[in-house]
């Protein structure tokens, strides 16, 4: 089982990947989003809260339990799945379709995010 620090590191790596995607014109629109974000790690019962802004994820707080406020982009998964997604060992579409990963956002945001995920 991934630790909280491993999950935090995975989110930082995801942020770095998003920053690199900003150079790709097909991903530029998604990387330019400015939205509140929460990532609930189910098995740790921990939520990382922050913003997706300027092509980066900035984690501003770590909370115990599910998210307290409804972020504009909401992710939920296990810590192992987060690490596997970021490392490229888990396909996002398959994980989402099977329910291993939950992503909730507005319709337009979902369309923009699909280029990154």
Q: What is the pLDDT of residues 5-20, one digit of tens each?
A: 999 999 999 888 877 7
- Contact indicator for 101, 95 with CB cutoff of 8 Å: yes
**Both tokens assigned to 92:** 């996002």
Confidence tier at 21 by pLDDT (50, 70, 90): low
Confirm whether pTM is higher than 0.85.
yes
pLDDT at res. 19: 76
Put the strands of the sheet holding 73-77 in their side by side order.
Answer: 56-64, 46-53, 35-41, 73-77, 102-105
* Average confidence (pLDDT) over 44-70: 94
């Amino acid at each position: 089982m991934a630790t909280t620090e491993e999950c935090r590191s995975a989110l930082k790596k995801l942020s770095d990947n998003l920053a690199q995607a900003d150079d790709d014109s097909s991903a530029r629109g998604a990387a330019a989003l400015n939205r509140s974000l929460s990532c609930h790690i189910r098995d740790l019962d921990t939520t990382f809260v922050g913003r997706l802004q300027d092509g980066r994820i900035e984690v501003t707080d770590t909370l115990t339990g599910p998210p307290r406020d409804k972020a504009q982009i909401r992710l939920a998964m296990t810590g192992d799945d987060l690490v596997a997604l970021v490392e490229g060992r888990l396909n996002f579409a398959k994980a989402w379709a099977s329910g291993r990963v939950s992503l909730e956002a507005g319709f337009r945001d979902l369309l923009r995010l699909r280029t990154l995920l």
